[in-house]
Structure 1
């Protein structure tokens, strides 16, 4: 029987208190991984998630950091390696929110913000954690991208620019670290049903669903399942991939 077994592995999920991040953290823990729960401002939710994982028998810590600041990421690295001694899996999920509008009206600061959230975060995470992966000749890096990076719809320019920058970075990183047994992949969710939707009764979005070949929205658990797969040895020969998890709403071409 094929099972996702992350026993003995350690994982860091950035933005782990967010709608998708908390499900990723729970799922990795349920597969046997020890989990570092990263948060920026929401310490209360991080502590709640930490208690939840601990009650389920998982080894976990909560770590605060600004993932766009080198000193802050370095301090997070010390906390994670100090607790677990190593890091096998990096899930780069932290995002920055802003108001979407047209290119002509979008403030320049929003482009800088998205570049920092999508590109700088991943550069700093690589610099912090890839060297010890190289030493052990093992690592899994999974970045959360978006279907928007292929859609390029109006008013998405800052977000798309940031995520396309992230895509380029990941493809280069995959080629640079592959020889060391490290894989680098991306999961690209569509408009995903999360806990907020369930609380608000907004799971159905019929106009969007009509554009999806599977005629429904995906769930946060389905995104987390893809992350867990890429973090596991089952995906040991997959690297440099951009994998939409959106019911076929976008389809990369060869």
Structure 2
């Protein structure tokens, strides 16, 4: 009997107060993990999530920090270790938001922000959390939230696509570098996903987008969180270096 059980695990979710992050937090906690809830500015939502996790019988802390700053990530690691223990599941979900436009119009600072929040966040998280996973000797999970845009390369996506494709390179190399320690490194690539924001605005449907998706619908935030929970669990113990689209087949990697 298959059992997605994360009891005894401690998971960090960056960008935990965002549309996808908050569902990841709830889902990982429902599976039994204690949670480090990272936030940049939305302290009220972080504390609300903390209460939700604790109501499920799990431990949780809310930690503020800028994931593009190595010192902040090191501080998050220290607070997590002191209050909960060794983090063995890292979910790099945070990303800087910006206004998309053409390459000719996009500012250089937007490319820099995407590099910082996609590539360097992942590097800093690896430097901070992987050594303790290795020392603990029980393996671990390193999961990044990528995007279908990294395969689409549509107009106006350049800064986001560049950041996420750079992130992809980091994860593929890291998977090979830490695999001997039974630490898996994988990416989840959502499509245009339905979240609470859509439900509140009643904007879940978009026929133009749905027409290009083989499953003829948009995915949900819960479906993204389910994939993250699977990759965080022992059920995925022999999967590493993967880029997994969760988008109803809207992009399909080739061999």
Give the TM-score, by structure 2 length: 0.99
Per the alignment, in what secondary structure is the counterpart of residue 222 of structure 1?
helix
For 1:223, the equivalent position in structure 2 comes to 224
Q: 1:9 & 1:186 partners in 2: Cα distance?
A: 19
1:56 deviates by: 2.0
State the number of aligned residues.
254
Write the distance in 1 (CA, Å) between the matches of 2:227 and 2:127: 25
Q: Distance in 2 between matches of 1:70 and 1:212?
A: 38
SS state of the match for residue 5, structure 2?
A: coil
Q: Equivalent residue for 1:210?
A: 211
Q: How does 1:1-254 map to 2 (within 5 A)?
A: 1-137=1-137, 138-254=139-255
* Unmatched 5+ stretches in structure 2: none
C-alpha distance in structure 1 between counterparts of 2:55 and 2:5, whole Å: 20
Q: How far apart in 2 are the matches of 1:94 and 1:176?
A: 23
Alpha-carbon displacement from aligned partner over 1:174-205 (angstroms, at most 9, x marks no partner): 00000011000000000000000000000001
Q: Distance in 2 between matches of 1:34 and 1:58?
A: 5
Distance 2:58 2:194 in 1: 26
- Runs (4+) of structure 1 exceeding 4 A deviation are none
Scaled by the length of structure 1, what TM-score is found? 0.99
Question: 2:76 and 2:108 mapped to 1: Cα distance?
Answer: 29
Q: Is the 8 A contact 2:59 2:84 kept in 1?
A: no
Q: CA deviation at 1:238?
A: 0.2
Alpha-carbon offset, residue 228 of structure 1? 0.2
Deviations 1:45-80 (Å, cap 9, x if unpaired)? 101111111122121110111111011111111000
Segments of 5+ residues of structure 1 without an aligned counterpart are: none
**Counterparts of 1:86 and 1:113, CA distance in 2:** 29
Q: 1: CA distance between counterparts of 2:182 and 2:55?
A: 33
